[in-house]
Amino acid sequence: MEHHASLLAQWLTHALGLAQHPWPGFAHGTPLSVLERYDHLLNAALAALLAMLITGLVRKNLARIPGGLQQTFEGVVGGLKEMINDNIAHHGEKYLPFIGTMALFVFFNNLFGLLPGLSPGTSNWNVTLGAALVVFGYYNFHGMREQGFVKYWAHFAGPIWWLAPLMFPLEILGLLSRILSHSLRLFGNIAGEHVVAGIFFGLMPILLPVPMMFLGLFFGLIQTFVFTMLATIYLSGAVSHEH
Amino acid sequence: MKKFLTTAFLFTLAAVAFAQVPGAPQKSLFEGQFVAHLSLAIAAAGCGLGQGKAVVAACEGVARNPQAAGAIRTTMIIGLALIEALVIYVLVAAFAIK
């Protein structure tokens, strides 16, 4: 896959006068600055900063009579809370901060594909893999904390003891492949959408990319929802006690 | 009809396979971008069928019991995402082949 650094990274490279040199085994030896090489990290960090800035702004200006931004965020938090309560049986709300953070991070990253000069951080596998690994670590940690170390790992062996040697490796494989599917789904959707929008832009820069950008907005939202929903379902599977 | 389509497909493949330039280095048909595009098309076709069935079932469910719309929508979106993931794997593989 060719490497296209975002305009922001290129502009920053020129503005800061960063040195450009070829990277071994990357982009066929095109000379790139460190910002252009790690473009996805720049964009992901920007998205995270933007999310923090906006949520901080909402938090600072909390009012009894909410304005537009506060209402939007109340809707988002309410929706997430409802989703978590639907999926996690008891005391689900203590996971709301983590789930909400992941949702906002992924959402802002997805929407960066629509802003001129930026590229979505989630269109690089490294970013989505990081997000999926964080989710993976989080639900395993809380699974072990809620159920106890032995009981958590024992439930991968299944209910029938003589099937355990067969079930345990399979379940562990399934657990590990969740990282792959969780990250590749987000990455593939956003990257594919971004590539198609780019091709449309190359065909005719005016008006033609608009439907694709609308689809990008829609897909960004849907993929955020799917990512968050799957994180909640994995978490619910890990922490729920079997009565 | 099925037999005809199969024959036509095989003949198309054969035409592509035999139309190689004599001097050019021998390269199998099933490597490079051609196979990426073909596999993506096949995956998209299967995904379209599967997602169509899922959406039909969800629509029927909502029409029969509009009160369950919320739960059905959530389940449907999760299911669609899981079906779609298979195409996304092929897309990633197609990216990797280039």
Which among A192, A222, A233 has CB closest to B91?
Answer: A192
Q: Is the pLDDT of residue B21 over 60?
A: no
> A8-12, A120-124, B15-19, B55-59: which has the minimum mean pLDDT?
B15-19
- If you measure CA to CA, which chain A residue comes closest to B90? A188
Check whether residue A144 and residue A208 sit in a common domain: yes
Q: From the centroid of its chain, how far is CA A51?
A: 13
Q: Does the CA dihedral A172-B94-B47-B3 come out positive or negative? A: negative
Residue type, A140: N
Q: What is the mean pLDDT of residues A22-34?
A: 79
Shortest distance between the Cα of A135 and any Cα of chain B, in A, equals 17
Whole-Å CA distances, B43 to A199, A227, B48, B57, B79: 21, 22, 8, 21, 16
Check whether residue A27 and residue A118 sit in a common domain: no
Check whether residue A25 and residue A102 sit in a common domain: no
Q: What is the mean pLDDT of residues A50-64?
A: 89
Interface of A with B in 107-166 (CB under 8 A): 125
> A23-27, A222-226, B63-67: which has the minimum mean pLDDT?
A23-27
H/E run at residue A21:
strand A21-22
Q: A139, A227, A229, A137: which is closest to A184 by C-alpha?
A: A227
Q: Is the pLDDT of residue A101 over 90?
A: yes
Which residues span the domain enclosing A157? Answer: 40-239
H-type helices in A61-163, by residue range? Answer: 68-87, 96-111, 125-147, 149-154
Check whether residue A21 and residue A133 sit in a common domain: no
User: What does the pLDDT read at residue A176?
Assistant: 93
Check whether residue A65 and residue A138 sit in a common domain: yes
Q: What is the C-alpha separation between A117 and A108, in angstroms, rounded?
A: 15
Which ipTM value was assigned to this complex?
Answer: 0.72
Note whether B92 contacts A185, CB cutoff 8 Å: no
Shortest distance between the Cα of B9 and any Cα of chain A, in A, equals 28
3-state helix, strand, coil in chain B (%, to 5): 85, 0, 15
Main-chain dihedrals φ then ψ at residue A4, nearest 5 degrees: -115, 105
| Structure tokens given for A82 | 């409802």
User: What does the pLDDT read at residue A216?
Assistant: 87
Q: What is the C-alpha separation between A188 and B87, in angstroms, rounded?
A: 9
Of B34 and B44, the structure prediction assigns the larger pLDDT to: B44
**Structural domains counted in chain A:** 2
User: What does the pLDDT read at residue A169?
Assistant: 92
Chain A positions touching B74 (Cβ under 8 A) are 83, 86, 229
Q: What is the C-alpha separation between B15 and A27, in angstroms, rounded?
A: 34
Of B32 and A236, the structure prediction assigns the larger pLDDT to: A236
Q: What is the C-alpha separation between A207 and A210, in angstroms, rounded?
A: 5
Give the model confidence (pLDDT) of A185-211 as tens digits: 999 989 888 888 888 888 888 888 888
Note whether A229 contacts B92, CB cutoff 8 Å: no
Q: Which residue has the tokens 């990797």?
A: B96
Q: What is the C-alpha separation between A217 and A113, in angstroms, rounded?
A: 9
Percent of chain A's residues with pLDDT above 90:
40
Q: Is the pLDDT of residue B20 over 60?
A: no
Note whether A226 contacts B89, CB cutoff 8 Å: no
Check whether residue A62 and residue A85 sit in a common domain: yes
Of B22 and B60, the structure prediction assigns the larger pLDDT to: B60
| Structure tokens given for B12 | 């198309």
- Number of Cβ within 10 Å of residue A192's Cβ equals 19
Whole-Å CA distances, B24 to B16, B19, B30, B33: 14, 11, 16, 17
Check whether residue A82 and residue A19 sit in a common domain: no
- Number of Cβ within 10 Å of residue A17's Cβ equals 7
- What contacts A225, CB < 8 A, 6 or more positions away? B77
Check whether residue A47 and residue A32 sit in a common domain: no
Q: Report pTM.
A: 0.83
Check whether residue A16 and residue A109 sit in a common domain: no
Residues of B engaging A, defined by a Cβ cutoff of 8 Å: 74, 77-78, 81, 84-85, 88-89, 91-92, 95-96, 98
Check whether residue A48 and residue A118 sit in a common domain: yes
Q: What is the C-alpha separation between A122 and B35, in angstroms, rounded?
A: 26
Shortest distance between the Cα of B82 and any Cα of chain A, in A, equals 9
User: What does the pLDDT read at residue B12?
Assistant: 67
Check whether residue A230 and residue A118 sit in a common domain: yes
SS3 B34: helix
Check whether residue A23 and residue A80 sit in a common domain: no
Q: What is the C-alpha separation between A69 and A54, in angstroms, rounded?
A: 9
Q: Does the CA dihedral A228-A234-A237-A238 come out positive or negative? A: negative
User: What does the pLDDT read at residue A186?
Assistant: 92
| Structure tokens given for A46 | 């920007």
- Number of Cβ within 10 Å of residue A25's Cβ equals 7
Note whether B85 contacts A184, CB cutoff 8 Å: yes
Note whether B85 contacts A185, CB cutoff 8 Å: yes
Shortest distance between the Cα of B6 and any Cα of chain A, in A, equals 30
- If you measure CA to CA, which chain A residue comes closest to B91? A188
User: What does the pLDDT read at residue A172?
Assistant: 92
Chain A positions touching B84 (Cβ under 8 A) are 185, 189
Shortest distance between the Cα of B91 and any Cα of chain A, in A, equals 7
Chain B positions touching A229 (Cβ under 8 A) are 74, 77-78
Q: Is the pLDDT of residue A83 over 60?
A: yes
Q: Is the pLDDT of residue B29 over 70?
A: no
Which among A86, A181, A222 has CB closest to B77?
Answer: A222
What domains sit in chain B, N to C, each tagged with a CATH number?
A: 31-98 (1.20.20.10)
Beta-bridge mates of residue A32: A21
Q: What is the mean pLDDT of residues A54-59?
A: 91
